[in-house]
Amino acid sequence: MGANEITNSPTKRRQGNPPGGRNLLTKLIGTKQDWRIYRPVAPRLRPRRSWIGTTLVVSSTLIGWFAFTGAAGAGNVSFGLFVGAAAIQLMAWSFVLAVRNKWLEPLFGGLDSMYRVHRWCGSLAVAAMFLHTRIEPEIKNGVRGASRDLRDMAEDLAGLAETSLYALIGISLLRIIPYRFWRLTHKLLGIPFLFASAHFFTATKPYANGSPWGVWFGLFMVAGTVAYFWRVVVNDMIRRGARYRVASQRRVGNNTELRLEPMSRRRINHQVGQFAILRVQKRGLSEPHPFTIASHPDDDQLLFIIRDLGDWTDKVGAADLEGATVEIEGPFGRFEPFGEPDQPHLWIAGGVGITPFLGALPTDSRPSKVVPSVFYAVKSSDDAPGLDRLQRADEAGHIRLHLSDSSAGQRLTVDAVTNAVGIGGIDGAHVALCGPAGLVRQFQRGTRALGARSIEVEDFDFRQGFGPELSRDIDDLVTRSVTGASRG
């Protein structure tokens, strides 16, 4: 049995010059899609263990309001002091979540969810700091946190922290900045936090630093500071992941397949749908990047499929990596392609988003208890990672494959899926989604409206923002500048 093709709603091929023919200004302006800000999709109001983490973040921040309710002074002093404290707490939470503690994953629903909360904490901290500085709360008859000289010095540092925080967050949100430059500037966010904490500690407040409220907020300042240094020093400079060797390297269209074998007894024991962070120990490739593990947990080797999406991935595709050492941190994530056995299963993937489903394919010929309907959207079947494995699984009866090939004018839509499986195939189904943000959101809303019982989404983009992706262009510009300077 071959793959079924979805032919619903043929798309028009976009006309115009290829990306390489655009000038730099055009690239800087980007497209509407580059600047689109997606609204978060509201979760179903059904209690889950993954709510615990977010609830803890919100409640631990809001409870600080009671520390300032009795503050007296000009203007809305209670609210002004509260949002200043909230900025400290949210920044501390942001650093704690960035450490990637595995024991926190179940409380947030996986590392991808932890990083979403991490980003929200950082963004809300900036908003809270902005409100605090605009209100400028002046408390009367409060308790001084330190001498006047120390307080004034810390206040000056807080002003510097505010300016630098706005700049660093701006860099984080603009995808124009290449990943490696963003990563370096992101490490500097701890400095504004330390300055802001010093100001908060030394400022006049309704309570003493040694009181229960002082200890409460002090714990956040200490936790944020420790987490920041642990993330920047221990994780990035000292801790090493499991060491693997590249056993084979293969190009499939615009994708690089890397098969890795362990170099010692220490190895990654992963579950279906998890991902890991790779550090290729080769000049110019050692910065960490996350990738889904595309091999089955029973396989002796790990398979990663890396698509050419930027300067680093381009270099991976062009490099000869066979025999190279790769340090792997993980596994992370709680993406579950499988629901209850009695549910219909829909796996919907776009491009390299097929990787978590490849790892879920059976490795033997025994009949499968669950036979998912797999909907796979690709730009071209010649550039579709894992298509051969999917076709073999389809022929063996492990899955029902539906291929949507854009180059043939085919488009994957909710209506197309409904036509393929019928309304009954979505009602009560377990839907697993992985791929471009637009595709994921389209099917989150569409399948939920048609009665899907559970929807699983993987999204481990550690850096989310808006604007065009110019990492290739800036990398070429830097390379030419360095080459020109060396020749000169």
Domain assignments of the chain as residue spans, ordered by start? 51-238, 242-332, 337-457
Rounded-to-integer distance, Cα 409 and Cα 97, Å: 43
Q: How many residues does the chain have?
A: 488
In 192-342, beta strands by DSSP E? 242-252, 255-262, 275-280, 289-292, 302-307, 325-332
Give the neighbor-by-neighbor strand order of the sheet with 302-307. Answer: 289-292, 275-280, 325-332, 242-252, 255-262, 302-307
Give the count of beta carbons closer than 10 Å to the beta carbon of residue 260.
Answer: 27
Query: What is 242-332's CATH topology?
Result: Elongation Factor Tu (Ef-tu); domain 3 (2.40.30)
Tell whether pTM > 0.85. no
Give the count of beta carbons closer than 10 Å to the beta carbon of residue 196.
Answer: 26
Nearest to 96 by CA among 186, 234, 188, 230: 230
308-333 in b/e burial notation, b at 16+ Cβ within 10 A? bebbbbbbbbebebeebebbbbbbbb
Rounded-to-integer distance, Cα 44 and Cα 75, Å: 40
Per-residue pLDDT at 17 = 40
Question: Are 100 and 56 contacting, i.e. CB atoms less than 8 angstroms apart?
Answer: no
Helix or strand run (H / E) with residue 122: helix 111-135
Rounded-to-integer distance, Cα 41 and Cα 449, Å: 13
Q: Give 205's Cβ-side CA count (13 Å radius).
A: 25
**Which residues, 6+ apart, have CB-to-CB distance to 62 below 8 Å?**
none
In 285-439, beta strands by DSSP E? 289-292, 302-307, 325-332, 345-350, 373-378, 400-405, 430-434
Q: Which is it for strands 325-332 and 275-280: parallel, antiparallel or unpaired?
A: antiparallel
Query: What is 337-457's CATH topology?
Result: Rossmann fold (3.40.50)
Print pLDDT tens along the chain (488 aa): 444 444 443 333 333 344 444 565 666 665 665 555 555 555 554 556 778 899 999 999 999 999 998 887 777 889 999 999 999 999 999 999 999 888 888 898 888 888 889 888 988 998 999 998 888 888 888 788 777 778 778 888 878 888 888 877 777 777 667 777 777 777 888 888 999 999 999 988 899 999 999 999 999 999 999 999 998 888 877 778 899 999 999 988 888 999 999 998 888 899 999 999 999 999 888 888 889 999 999 998 999 999 887 778 888 888 999 999 999 998 988 888 998 888 899 999 998 899 999 999 987 766 678 889 999 999 888 888 889 999 999 998 999 999 999 888 889 999 999 989 887 788 889 999 998 888 888 899 899 988 888 898 876 565 665 555 666 666 666 556 655 555 55
